Amino acid sequence: MKWQGQIVPNHWQIMLPRKILQSKAPPASRPDCSKCPMDDIGDPRNYARCCTFYPEMPQFTLTEAYLERPEDDVWQSLVTRRLLLPEGLIPSPYRLQRIGSGPCDFFHRQTGQCGVYLQRNPICSGWFCRSSSANQEAYWSAIKHYIGHCETVIRQWLLEEIGFDLESYVQCFDELAAQVTKISDLQTEGWRRDIYETLWQGYIGHEWELMCRAYEHYKDNIQNLDKVLKSRKIRYSKSFTTALRTMLGPHYRGVEIVSYENYFDLTTAMNKAQKCLEQENGALQGEPNSLVNRVLQTSI
């Protein structure tokens, strides 16, 4: 769908409130990717430019992309490397430490394109490396948090709807908190084999089957998602999140969107976005920001 002058995933239309959908965002200064500043920084991964990110993706958008291009090698690789969990593509703690070290699994080197463009995650969808104002950046940040929150609520609801034991899954993370530094596979960057098997609750070898069932249920219930979003909260392990934050240390700021504690509740996120719009219409223009500098700093 085209929204605010750019292509964003279709499910945003279901998730964003009408008031925000119909509003006009603070103007974005569009990057010229043909003159990417990352081409000149002497980094061997320059070909991937800003697609050095390791995105988190819910199972229902990931499966939509999978069904569109099942012949792509990436899908089997995600399973073989144990990068998937029942909720979707969830970076292991080690991957979070290495976030920005890509290229991203979905980046097609030959074409220079994103393999999940129409389903890409909110961070990728709302990425403006040359932002025109702090206000514009704040607006997109609120939208990204909002969509991230919605995607998490829906992916967890889907699991419960198809009979997956979400409660036990979350409790597993409570138990993993004490060993957060040891639960990744450093070779594959995925989850350690025994942890992966526990979290999948007997679905090993049938990972895509479970994901496809969740996606079918998503499609059958698109009309009801609004009610789900209003009635459910995110389930997460507080002790695991705390342990992860300690482990990540200075990296934490860069990956805060994956920490559920930092997702705004829906009302707060929309109030933030709305405030940005009001400021944009009034006199309160933000200072120019330095996002492009941050791209350069985080990718070297």
Q: Which residues contact 189 (CB under 8 A, 6 or more apart)?
A: 81, 83, 92, 94, 95, 98
Stretch that binds ligand SF4, among 2-10, 12-20, 47-55, 256-264 (CB under 6 A): 47-55
Q: Which residues pair with 2 in a beta bridge?
A: 7
Rule CB under 6 A: which of 22-41 touch ligand SF4? 31, 33, 36, 38
**CA-to-CA dists, residue 124 to 12, 67, 116, 150, 195, angstroms:** 13, 21, 10, 16, 28
Kindly indicate which of the ranges 48-56, 75-83, 142-150, 254-262 contains the residues binding ligand SF4, using the contact rule CB under 6 A. 48-56
Does 95 contact ligand SF4 by CB under 6 A?
no
- Span from 51-59, 187-195, 196-204, 228-236 in contact with ligand SF4 (CB under 6 A): 51-59
Q: Exactly one of 28, 89, 116, 183 binds ligand SF4 (CB under 6 A); which one?
A: 116
Q: What is the enclosing helix (H) or strand (E) of 285? A: none
Region near ligand SF4 per CB under 6 A, out of 106-114, 134-142, 173-181, 255-263: 106-114
Q: Does residue number 120 form part of the binding site for ligand SF4 (CB under 6 A)?
A: yes
Beta strand extents in the chain (DSSP E only): 2-3, 6-7, 57-58, 84-85, 88-89, 107-108, 113-114
Residue 107 binds ligand SF4, judged by CB under 6 A: yes
Q: Which lies closer to ligand SF4 via its Cβ, residue 78 or residue 124?
A: 124
> How is 228-277 classified by DSSP, letter by letter?
HHHH------HHHHHHHHHHHGGGGGGGGGGSGGGSPPHHHHHHHHHHHH
How far apart are CB 98 and ligand SF4 at their closest, in Å?
Answer: 14
Helix, strand, or coil here: 58?
A: strand
Q: Name the segment binding ligand SF4 (CB under 6 A); options: 74-82, 104-112, 150-158, 272-280.
A: 104-112
> Of 104, 154, 273, 277, which lies in the binding site for ligand SF4, with binding defined by CB under 6 A?
104
> In terms of CB distance, is 114 or 170 closer to ligand SF4?
114
Enter the tokens of residue 119.
């389903």
Of 127 and 139, which CB lies nearer to ligand SF4 in the complex structure?
127
Name the helix (H) or strand (E) containing 57.
strand 57-58
In the complex, what is the shortest distance from the CB of residue 108 to ligand SF4, in angstroms, rounded to a whole number? 8
CB of 295 to ligand SF4, least distance (A): 5
By the rule CB under 6 A, 295 interacts with ligand SF4:
yes
Q: Which two tokens stand for residue 228?
A: 């789900």
For residues 205, 187, 262, 290, the Cα torsion angle rounded to the nearest 10 degrees is -130
Nearest of 218, 263, 242 to residue 62 by alpha carbon: 218
Structure tokens at 80: 């073989």
Question: What distance in Å separates the CA atoms of residue 100 and residue 93, rounded to the nearest whole number?
Answer: 14
50 sits near ligand SF4 (criterion: CB under 6 A): yes
Minimum gap (Å) between residue 128 Cβ and ligand SF4: 7
114 near ligand SF4 (CB under 6 A):
yes
Closer to ligand SF4 by Cβ: residue 109 or 238: 109
Binding region for ligand SF4 (CB under 6 A): 31, 33, 36, 38, 49-51, 53, 55, 104, 106-107, 114, 116, 120, 124, 129, 295
